[in-house]
Structure 1
């Protein structure tokens, strides 16, 4: 059996190819970039916290340590490697809790990274050169120091075998150099991507001495060796994980870590059925629950543990964008190629009836890809800067979208809005569909597709949508599969339509390439579920990552929002402005909630603690 040193040889050869050591400058060489040292990196503007900050505003540095947190998760897991093509089968919370990155994002700011493994960074104004200086205290859980060789190794490995988005981003790096054990330099000349330094700051650091390169692309259930505050101490495949706090964690006193990761143990149990998970919570087997069912929140919390005070409800209203959820069309299917077909199908989602009868009236209809944020174009006419960006693509936007007048159709609430049904049929008739005994057909073929769902709540919603479509002659069949099968179909784009979720981002940027960029449309495992491949979308994303000011960023984001809305790539669903949580009363959190969290409580409640009895 080959040693780990042998297994890493291929990546070492890759490193030799991508390293370019600095040589003497020629007479024609441009002057060296003027670098400035910083403790943090912001996408635009300056970091809010000074270099000597003590802790993040949403942390409680005096929080007690200890106790066990018991969590329940719907689904399963088949992998503990978050960074290969099988990432959908791995627990998301491993990043941050077990694996650490060079720098860490403050969730009180839109997109600013502060020191973690890298204690400081040098960068030039053009963002074409970035140098990370590693903290000499940083080490992996086995005690081995984290060095520049580990960073360079990780970069080469993820560039070759990482997620599609990571490979695309890292391919923009011109060269990497590790002049000493604590310094890593990246040359980004020509990338024209001002967010790329932040992508590098968010790069995890893997141990060169303990990473199996030749099997890196495979799924694994081996507990990872990393540098984070927790160690995976027990694994029951697909059913249970136990994290234990590393007593020798190197970063306890870092400002970016004070007040976080307070539980001595985090037990995560997986449930295949949402009903079983709720019953486990009611029985006291789970300590915390974020309720995503409005009906359940309104009607399902009258069980004994609530009335006896063993469970408390807490509603949080964050300022974060809400993300996107909806029925995504797979444009790789011929029947969905025409945007008029997609628009007509989307018209038939009767949100008004669904909200009143299925959701207790607790939701708002999603109108934008960046809803509830300054980046949304909804109800806003395009500015001069937006029109300048869009001028290269005449005919891409309809006037109502350019003027901010377009909204998802509002039904009359009866469940049978005939006016909207007539509009949808008229659009489909333009495409060539005609009524027949078999429904709407074109060239003898019916307009028929399948909606893939993974829970009974999604199934109920999809069945309602299917019934609405049936009224205009569209045959939409609903298929319920378990989470693991759903993820496999999603990863291989093996679906007609599914309920897709795109996580909220406080400040849109390079992640939009993975969601909607043309290269990602053909990359298996990418999150471009719909298969969007549009030159106009690509150009707006390019403008987004090249933005030098907040004004430029807003203009690019709103222009992108308008182009995406014009494509009718998914049927927008709805969102709640509040986050509904229930938990045991012993759980506490800081008085200040983060303003821009990706998840309400970062999956394992990283800023919470258990109050001692």
Structure 2
């Protein structure tokens, strides 16, 4: 090679390097929804909610209720192990003490178009998968294309506004959008988990499988016993372990998820020492199930951690694909028959408040009557949404807690009559004269005690409620196939709701199996409000759209609201510790650590409890 050729090559290489540096200079180390300044500066060393000096070591043993039969969480088949998420890295990572801010992980920086029609990510050169293979832009495009083509329906809905993806160079990838209306979309793309193209070539991505996957994250799959346990081990060579977004996190050397049949046996396993940590969702259990000598001695700890995140909505969902539930008067009547006050006193030790919003525990929840800004959104929909949106604040029915709900029963009976239902031979019949029998699909026995009082109340109206309990795998498959009349559903919310609302409430999602629109809600007015929320141009506009959507959903009685709490309830052995300042919007389990010198090995009773629970 002559000198001129060599100089030309060096000049070209230097030009590429300078171009890359200039590009990096124009990018951002963090993305925020409305371009407001992020909480943490560019030179931050760790998040405030971690202990940056947390010791590494120990094993975290947790329960997997119901079991898993797949290590592929990206497809709509099988029951994936939840903990497998820890083997994957994303382009960016959301902080847990800001409503919606993402900081660079795989991507060192990101650059948004001024008109929000594209986002470019600059990948870290040191990023690599757990087999040492470098992580590059082609892996990002492979992930996106593969999940769109073979992944669960959620991904196609979540990324519906992405037009195309282009690799600009090995460390640079750009996503082009169909329009610039969706301010959240750059951040949604930042949540993209990056899968290894070289690993998946020649494999069937679309199937559920227990084959050990390859990731780039802090943990790797060490062993899997089908139907029994999954063991993850911290990757000592994790490429991103010293990044500010990871400092003080992923402190356990190993995470073991053991399978238990139901929550009851998992509690016994915790008390026996077979598992270390458990989040309790049942108020009765929290009140009485953990009373052991270890609790009284301070070895087992019960703690309520403040939850600053919107609680979303949990409720008894009506499958509106069934003709039985297509009349809003029927849905309202059935909603009146849930006696929350009695249930809360007798079954929950008054531990809950009734959920009255799809955005509970946040400024996004609708209250009172619509204000002027909401009316600008709602007035054009008058006649297409319930009239009571404009005239009445939504309120759940309230009983005296005695278990007698005659006023609610009378109103429910009146609504059913208006819908063409009537009683014949002591049985309620629908508008077609068919005796009404409703199947309620459940997966866990603890729900049955909650549903039995509701079943009795419906019986007083001549309606037969059949509780159909199936195992976890059957439950997942029947819910995906929409093969149910009623079921419990949960619609979690973030402080900045966005594209996931399409997956919850839109007509398009109702027609696709596997989405979270289990209600089968198909309402053009709701579709319009969801689009408006996603395209909101400011935080104030987002709040207004969320409140307007909230009102319409509530007055359509798409489900029967359940209950909520402003704390996370956690029971754990004192060998575990957590930062004194927990994150505002998450329970932050990966910020916990094992106390140095604390024993890990369960005593013989724990071994017996663990074995007997499977």
In the TM superposition, structure 1's runs of 4+ consecutive aligned residues that sit over 3 Å from their partners are: 396-404
Q: CA deviation at 1:573?
A: 0.6
1:593 alignment partner in structure 2: 582
Q: Distance in 2 between matches of 1:580 and 1:189?
A: 43
Say whether 1:423 aligns with 2:411: yes
Say whether 1:127 aligns with 2:116: yes
2:544 alignment partner in structure 1: 555
Q: Greater CA deviation, 280-289 or 386-395?
A: 386-395
Q: Of residues 52, 76, 89 in structure 1, which corresponds to 2:67?
A: 76
Q: CA deviation at 1:404?
A: 5.9
- Aligned pairs for 1:304-319 within 5 A: 304-319=293-308
2:79 alignment partner in structure 1: 89
Q: Greater CA deviation, 315-324 or 190-199?
A: 190-199
Q: Distance in 2 between matches of 1:554 and 1:171?
A: 23
Q: Distance in 1 between matches of 2:166 and 2:469?
A: 50
Say whether 1:38 aligns with 2:19: no
Q: Distance in 2 between matches of 1:343 and 1:114?
A: 44
Say whether 1:392 aligns with 2:396: no
Q: Distance in 1 between matches of 2:70 and 2:400?
A: 47
Q: Distance in 1 between matches of 2:465 and 2:153?
A: 31
Say whether 1:185 aligns with 2:174: yes
Structure 1 contact 458–499 (Cα < 8 Å) conserved: no
**1:516-560: CA deviation from partner (whole Å, max 9, x where unpaired):** 111111111111111111111111111111111111100111111
SS at 2:27's partner residue? strand
SS at 1:158's partner residue? helix
TM, length-normalised to structure 2:
0.90
Q: Of residues 206, 216, 225 in structure 2, which corresponds to 1:236?
A: 225
Q: Distance in 2 between matches of 1:462 and 1:212?
A: 48
Q: Distance in 2 between matches of 1:568 and 1:541?
A: 17
Q: Distance in 2 between matches of 1:478 and 1:189?
A: 46
**1:418-460: CA deviation from partner (whole Å, max 9, x where unpaired):** 1110000000100101111142113320222111111222111
Structure 1 contact 380–403 (Cα < 8 Å) conserved: no
1:20 alignment partner in structure 2: none
Q: Distance in 2 between matches of 1:167 and 1:527?
A: 13
Q: Distance in 1 between matches of 2:466 and 2:26?
A: 58
Which consecutive unaligned segments of at least 5 residues does structure 1 have? 1-34
Distance 1:394 1:233, change over 3 A: same
2:592 alignment partner in structure 1: 608
* RMSD between aligned residues: 1.6
Q: Distance in 2 between matches of 1:290 and 1:130?
A: 38
SS at 1:513's partner residue? helix
Say whether 1:274 aligns with 2:229: no
SS at 2:380's partner residue? coil
Q: Greater CA deviation, 164-173 or 409-418?
A: 164-173
Which consecutive unaligned segments of at least 5 residues does structure 2 have? 1-24, 598-614
- Aligned pairs for 1:132-281 within 5 A: 132-190=121-179, 192-212=181-201, 215-281=204-270
Q: CA deviation at 1:270?
A: 1.1
Q: CA deviation at 1:126?
A: 2.1
Q: Distance in 2 between matches of 1:570 and 1:213?
A: 44
Distance 1:566 1:214, change over 3 A: farther
Q: CA deviation at 1:36?
A: 5.0
Structure 2 contact 394–555 (Cα < 8 Å) conserved: no
Structure 1 contact 36–123 (Cα < 8 Å) conserved: no
**1:17-50: CA deviation from partner (whole Å, max 9, x where unpaired):** xxxxxxxxxxxxxxxxxx9521111222332211
1:530 alignment partner in structure 2: 519
Structure 2 contact 388–555 (Cα < 8 Å) conserved: no
Q: Distance in 1 between matches of 2:283 and 2:47?
A: 32
SS at 1:499's partner residue? strand
SS at 2:377's partner residue? helix
Q: Greater CA deviation, 150-159 or 256-265?
A: 150-159
**1:149-206: CA deviation from partner (whole Å, max 9, x where unpaired):** 1111111111211221211343422222212100001111426322211121111111
Q: Distance in 1 between matches of 2:317 and 2:476?
A: 14
1:509 alignment partner in structure 2: 498
- Aligned pairs for 1:275-354 within 5 A: 275-354=264-343
Q: Distance in 2 between matches of 1:132 and 1:404?
A: 48
Structure 2 contact 115–180 (Cα < 8 Å) conserved: no
Q: Greater CA deviation, 496-505 or 261-270?
A: 496-505
Q: CA deviation at 1:268?
A: 0.7
2:21 alignment partner in structure 1: none
Structure 1 contact 161–167 (Cα < 8 Å) conserved: no
1:370 alignment partner in structure 2: 359
Q: Distance in 1 between matches of 2:495 and 2:475?
A: 27
Q: Of residues 393, 402, 409 in structure 2, which corresponds to 1:405?
A: 393
1:578 alignment partner in structure 2: 567
Structure 1 contact 103–115 (Cα < 8 Å) conserved: yes
Q: Distance in 1 between matches of 2:337 and 2:360?
A: 21
Q: Greater CA deviation, 62-71 or 300-309?
A: 300-309
Q: Distance in 2 between matches of 1:489 and 1:380?
A: 38
Distance 1:283 1:164, change over 3 A: same
Q: Distance in 1 between matches of 2:570 and 2:432?
A: 51
Q: CA deviation at 1:321?
A: 1.2
Q: Distance in 2 between matches of 1:404 and 1:296?
A: 37
Q: CA deviation at 1:81?
A: 1.0
Number of residue-to-residue matches in the alignment: 571
Structure 1 contact 453–499 (Cα < 8 Å) conserved: yes
SS at 2:209's partner residue? coil
SS at 2:82's partner residue? coil
Structure 2 contact 158–500 (Cα < 8 Å) conserved: no
SS at 2:590's partner residue? coil
Structure 1 contact 139–250 (Cα < 8 Å) conserved: yes
Structure 2 contact 267–290 (Cα < 8 Å) conserved: no
Distance 1:453 1:189, change over 3 A: closer
**1:37-87: CA deviation from partner (whole Å, max 9, x where unpaired):** 21111222332211111111111110000111111121111111111112x
Q: Distance in 2 between matches of 1:63 and 1:314?
A: 20
SS at 1:494's partner residue? coil
